[in-house]
Amino acid sequence: MGNEQEFQDLLQRVGLDREEISQRLRFLDWSAADVEQLGRHSAGLQPAHAGFLEQLYQRLGEFPATAAIVNDPATISRLKHSQGDYYQRLWNGPYDRDYVLDRLRIGWIHQKIGVDLKWYLGAYRLYLHEMLDGLLGAHPASTAFASLLKAVFFDIGLALDTYSAAQRKALEDSEARFARALRGANDGLWDWHVDHDQLYLSERWASMLELHRDQLGSGSAGWFARVHPDDLGGLRRAIDAHLQGSTPSLHHEYRIRRHNGSYLWVLVRGVAERIGQDQRRMAGSQTDISQHRAAQEQLQHAARHDPLTGLANRDRLAELLAQALQRQGRAGAREAALLFIDLDRFKLINDSLGHHIGDHVLVEVARRLGQCLRPGDHLIRFGGDEFVVLLDDLACIADAERVAQRMLDSLQPPLQVQEHQLVVSISIGIAALSEENAGLDSLQAADLALYRAKAAGKAQFARYSTEMQAQAQHQLELQSALSRALARDEFSLVYQPICQLDQAQPYLVAVEALLRWQHKGQAVSPLEFIPCLEESGAILAVGDWVLRQACAQVRHWQLAGQTALRCSVNLSSRQLQQADFAARVADILRESGLPPASLVLEITESQLMEDSAQTLACLRELASLGIQLALDDFGTGYSSLGYLKRFPLHILKVDKSFISGTPEDGDSRLISRAIIGLGLSLGLEVVAEGVERSEHLDFLRSEGCRLAQGYWFSRPRPPVELERLFSGEDCFEGLYCLLQAQPALSLP
Ligand code: C2E
Ligand code: MG
Ligand code: MG
């Protein structure tokens, strides 16, 4: 800071305004008479003035401290000269603003060069003494007054001592407090004269970086050069924003380089102030926040990762996706893909072995999946048993299929979890990241593909296609149409005869009720709409309707003469999962009057797998009512012999896919033979499905299979057509005569 500036600061601090000066003069009783008095003696006291100066310099020479300042004749004569002027001015005035300023400036200079106040006071005492002498001469009163002056000046010195000591103490206390607070806060301090680029940094500021103050230079360059390149712009912007008044203070976190080259997270705080017109100064503190940052980062990590597997979680996926999409937007970007992965039948593991084992399985699966990835790919636990993989930087999207295949293969070897050996499979949906998927985002597209992979039999991958999307759309439309179909009376039942083969002429013993849906004037295949009903849950209401309808119909035919006619009805797994299902069936039987023994309920193997405990309980209850249970489509699913023993089954239906190959195809023949043999040996009735040709019939007969259905006998038909058959008005395919051969089944 320039000298003049320093003096101006001091003046402000002294705070002598017009009012203060006039008050002081009033208290001194200063008046025009005083001016006149002094003026009158001015000339007469010239010799006394000169004498005083001689005396003063002689005295100053006697004390070592003052002698050191006034030590050569040239200085002495210059000082005497200016002192002479000064004392003249003191005597004569005028005591105006200039006078006051000059006095203050001289006092400031003296203080700066180290002239102690006591020499000052002593000089004034000597001056008054000499002037007294000059006015009164050696008068007894003047001698006494001279002595009094000495005592008074001694006291003035003491009074000033106490005042200044007390002020110094207050200042020191506050400084000590400040220093203590600083030590406690452990903060570094900085003080920057922005326009002169003079920077003061405290020792602590430097030591935080394992540096000494003098290693940092005196300008801001030493500071900014150590700021992390990624953070420098931000810091400068924060400083500028505050200097321009857009922020109330500077408050900014950034990284700064330590002596050893590593970076430290710090928080800089500061405020700017204006000095004069155009000078700015900014000062503040700097705090080491590395620990706080580390804790924060740990929290952030925890918030974006799954605690069980340690993988990134869904929140993190959102970030990764956003970044990947941004990269995709750039020119020359390579392909990227999402894999949506779901464990097949994980619920079964959780339910049967407990969540603890389930957790181990998830961890192990995550580990194996992770091993199929390259660095730069991401594996995310999406939730539950769902994982998502983000594959970046692919040459072509087919590479994603290769990764998916690797993942499927990685789960081939069984998992060893504690004492359990578990076979776990996954299904995978694949979607390209960049793809505009007809309104779907990539994740939804991959999810849709996953759904397809599951529907196609699990343990495989499927890649998203626009047809898939169209299909899903179609599915949705179907679902909404289906939800209204029951109320609109769009459903109907057809019945397919099931025939007994043990006589020369097969004869009709049962019918299988099959659901039909007439939508917009067109018949929709049950293979299409039944899964749809199952998914929406509408199958419960529709299933009830089918049962009620079929039971009533067959009971009607029984009463009309087909007394031994049995009725087969297909069930969905969701129906079996209802706790009150058996009771509902009992009600329906009661309402229709159909004997329980006339009802056959058909279930498939996959239904038995869904929720075995509930399903088993339900099936037992149904069996105890006297209802017959048939295992439908046997051979197409797991064909588990365990199920045949465990569940209370009465009938086994051999799937039409085997029958259609007989007798020409060797495998079909062998499998059909094995299934028929298996059923018979377990004491079950065996029904062959899909009999279309007389060769099929011959084969079945030769294998001892007693029951069959298929187009050879009759397609599924509406009730009126069956009634024409029963009445003998009509005969379809080869059935007419068969009915004749079976009096019990003919109409009265
Ligand atoms: P499913 O229970 O195995 O029914 C037999 C299917 O084979 C019927 O198909 C029938 O028309 C067909 N079929 C019969 N004989 C022959 C033949 O000689 N050759 C060929 N190629 N096919 C033959 P549909 O009616 O299309 O029904 C398909 C499936 O839909 C049924 O298979 C059944 O699982 C399901 N389904 C039908 N109605 C219902 C129902 O009311 N409830 C439930 N839950 N499922 C039903
Ligand atoms: Mg069936
Ligand atoms: Mg079947």
pLDDT tens figures, 554-609: 999 999 989 999 999 999 988 988 889 999 999 999 999 999 999 999 998 877 77
Give the Cα separation of 430 and 462 in Å (integer).
Answer: 6
Residues 6+ apart with CB under 8 A from 149: 125, 128, 129, 132
Instruction: Write the residue with the smallest CA distance to atom 42 of ligand 1.
Output: 570
Burial of 391 (0-12, 13-18, 19+ CB in 10 A): buried
Atom of ligand 1 nearest to the CA of 571: 44
Which residue is closest in CA terms to ligand 1's atom 26? 526
Torsion, CA 230, CA 236, CA 241, CA 244, rounded to 10:
-160
Q: Which helix (H) or strand (E) holds 722?
A: helix 719-727
CB atoms within 10 A of CB 52: 23
Q: Closest residue (by CA) to atom 43 of ligand 1?
A: 570
The residue whose CA has the least distance to atom 14 of ligand 1 is 710
Residue with tokens 């430290």: 264
Strand partners, 497: 511
Cα 570 to ligand 2 centre (Å): 5
306 vs 573, more confident: 306
Query: For the chain, which residues make up each domain, given as ranges?
Result: 2-165, 186-294, 304-464, 478-727
Ligand nearest the Cα atom of residue 713? 1
Q: Rounded distance, CA 740 to CA 718, Å? A: 21
pLDDT tens readout for residues 639-676: 777 778 888 999 999 999 999 988 888 899 999 999 99
Ligand nearest to the CA of 545: 1
Measured in Å, residue 686 CA sits from the centre of ligand 2 at 13
Ligand nearest to the CA of 602: 2
- pLDDT for position 740: 39
Residue 544 CB neighbour total at 10 angstroms: 18
Q: Which CATH superfamily is domain 304-464 in?
A: Reverse transcriptase/Diguanylate cyclase domain (3.30.70.270)
Please give the sequence-ordered ranges of beta strands (E in DSSP) within 460-506, or none if there are none.
461-463, 491-500
| pLDDT at residue 439 in the model | 60
- Give CA separation, 8 vs 164, 275, 279, 471, 572, in Å: 21, 12, 15, 86, 97
- The one-letter code for the residue type at 718 is P
Q: Please tell me the distance from the alpha carbon of residue 232 to that of residue 24, in angstroms, as a whole number.
A: 56
C-alpha–C-alpha distance, residues 661 and 689, integer Å: 12
**Fold of the 2-165 domain:** Globin-like (1.10.490)
Q: How confident is the model at residue 732 (pLDDT cuts 50, 70, 90)?
A: low
* Distance between Cα 578 and ligand 2 center (Å): 20
What is the identity of the amino acid at 151? A
Query: Are the beta carbons of 743 and 511 closer than 8 angstroms?
Result: no
Residue of 433, 441, 427 lying closest to 386 (CA atoms)? 427
Q: Which residues surround ligand 3, an ion (CB under 5 A)?
A: 632-633, 689
Residue 481 pLDDT: 93
Upstream peptide bond of 663 is cis (omega within 30 degrees of 0): yes
Burial class (CB in 10 A: 0-12, 13-18, 19+), 256: buried
* Residue 744 DSSP code: G
Length of the chain (residues): 748
CA distances from 595 to 409, 586, 591, 746 (A): 52, 10, 11, 19
Residue nearest to atom 25 of ligand 1 (CA): 514
Domain 186-294, CATH: 3.30.450.20
Over residues 462-473, the mean pLDDT reads 88
CB 513 within 8 A of CB 567: yes
| The pLDDT of residue 739 | 43
CA distance 371 to 365: 10
As for ligand 1, residues whose beta carbon falls within 6 Å of it are: 496, 514-515, 525-527, 530, 546, 570-572, 602, 632-633, 656, 689-692, 709-711, 716
Q: Which residue has the least CA distance to atom 41 on ligand 1?
A: 515
703 close to 696: Cβ distance less than 8 angstroms: no
Per-residue pLDDT tens for 204-255? Answer: 999 999 999 889 988 999 999 999 999 999 999 999 999 999 999 999 999 9
Residue 630 CA, ligand 3 centroid: distance in Å: 10
Q: How far apart are CA 512 and CA 600, in angstroms?
A: 9
How far apart are the CA of 352 and the centre of ligand 2, in A? 30
Mean pLDDT along residues 158-181: 87
Confidence of residue 14 (pLDDT cuts 50, 70, 90): confident
Q: From atom 30 of ligand 1, which residue's Cα is the shortest distance away?
A: 526
Single-letter amino acid code for the residue at 723: E
pLDDT at 741: 39
Give the separation between CA 413 and CA 477, rounded to whole angstroms. Answer: 41
**Which residues have C-beta within 8 Å of that of residue 628, sequence separation ≥ 6?**
566, 597, 599, 600, 601, 650, 651
- H or E segment to which residue 189 belongs: strand 188-193
pLDDT, position 435: 53
Q: Which among 534, 542, 546, 689 is the best mutation to test ligand 1's pocket, defined by most ligand atoms within 8 Å of the CB? A: 689
Residue-wise pLDDT tens digits, 134-156: 888 888 888 899 999 999 999 99
Determine the distance from the C-alpha atom of residue 507 to the mean position of all C-alpha atoms in its chain, rounded to a whole number.
68
Of the listed ligands, the closest to the CA of 710 is 1
Written as one string, the DSSP assignment of 473-521 is HHHHHHHHHHHHHTTTT-EEEEEEEEEE-SSSS-EEEEEEEEEEEEETT
CB 249 within 8 A of CB 227: no
Q: Answer yes or no: are the C-beta atoms of 437 and 465 closer than 8 Å.
A: no
Residue nearest to atom 24 of ligand 1 (CA): 526
| Residue with the larger pLDDT of the pair 479 and 741 | 479
pLDDT at 725 over 90: no
For range 610-637, the mean pLDDT? 88
Going 201 to 206 to 212 to 217, the CA torsion angle's sign is negative
CB atoms within 10 A of CB 519: 16
**Smallest Cα–Cα separation from 669: which of 678, 657, 681?**
657
Helices and strands, counts by H and E, the chain: 31, 21
Please report the pLDDT score of residue 746 as a whole number. 34
Q: Which of 530, 571, 577, 735 to mutate to test the pocket of ligand 1 (most atoms within 8 A of CB)?
A: 530
Report how far ligand 3's centroid is from the alpha carbon of 512 (Å).
10
User: Could you tell me the distance, in angstroms and rounded to a whole number, from the CA of residue 710 to the centre of ligand 2?
Assistant: 12
The residues facing 519 across adjacent strands are 522
Gap from CA of 620 to ligand 3 centroid (Å): 22
Give the distance (Å) from ligand 1 centre to CA of residue 198: 92
**Common-topology check for domains 304-464 and 478-727:** no
What mean pLDDT value characterizes the chain? 89
Indicate which ligand has the atom closest to the C-alpha of 527: 1
Residues forming beta bridges with residue 582, ordered by sequence position: none
608: CA distance to ligand 2 center in Å?
Answer: 15
pLDDT at 743 over 90: no
Residue 514 Cα to ligand 1 midpoint, Å, equals 6
DSSP string covering 535-564: HHTTHHHHHHHHHHHHHHHHHHHHHTT-TT
Ligand nearest to the CA of 496: 1
Using most ligand atoms within 8 A of CB, pick from 546, 551, 570, 605 the residue to mutate for ligand 1.
Answer: 570
- In this structure, the residue with its CA closest to atom 21 of ligand 1 is 690
Atom of ligand 1 nearest to the CA of 711: 18
Residue nearest to atom 5 of ligand 1 (CA): 689
Tokens of 339: 């894999």
The structure tokens listed for 613 are 């405990």
Which of 107-121, 202-216, 459-473, 719-733 has the least mean pLDDT?
Answer: 719-733
Per the structure block, which two tokens stand in for 291? 């620990």
Residue bearing the CA closest to ligand 1, atom 2:
570
The DSSP code for 186 is: T
Q: Contacts from 46-53 at CB under 8 Å and sequence distance 24+?
A: 47/134, 48/130, 48/131, 48/133, 48/134, 48/135, 49/84, 49/87, 49/88, 49/91, 49/130, 50/84, 51/130, 51/134, 52/87, 52/126, 52/127, 52/130, 52/131, 53/80, 53/83, 53/84, 53/87
Average pLDDT on 163-167 reads 90
What single DSSP character describes residue 334?
Answer: P
- For helices 398-410 and 355-371, give the axis angle rounded to 10 degrees: 140
Please give the distance, rounded to the nearest whole angstrom, from the Cα atom of residue 570 to the centre of ligand 1. Answer: 9
What residues have CB less than 8 Å from 47, skipping those under 6 apart?
134
pLDDT in tens, 374-432: 999 999 999 999 999 999 889 888 999 999 999 999 999 999 999 989 999 999 999 99
Residue showing tokens 């200042």: 171
Tens digits of residue pLDDT in 48-84: 999 999 999 999 889 988 888 778 888 888 888 988 8
The pLDDT score that the predictor gives to residue 243 is 94
For residues 643 and 607, is the Cβ–Cβ distance under 8 A? no
| pLDDT at res. 437 | 55
DSSP assigned state of 305: B
Rounded to the nearest angstrom, the distance between the alpha carbon of 603 and the centre of ligand 3 is: 9
The dotted CATH code for 478-727 is: 3.20.20.450
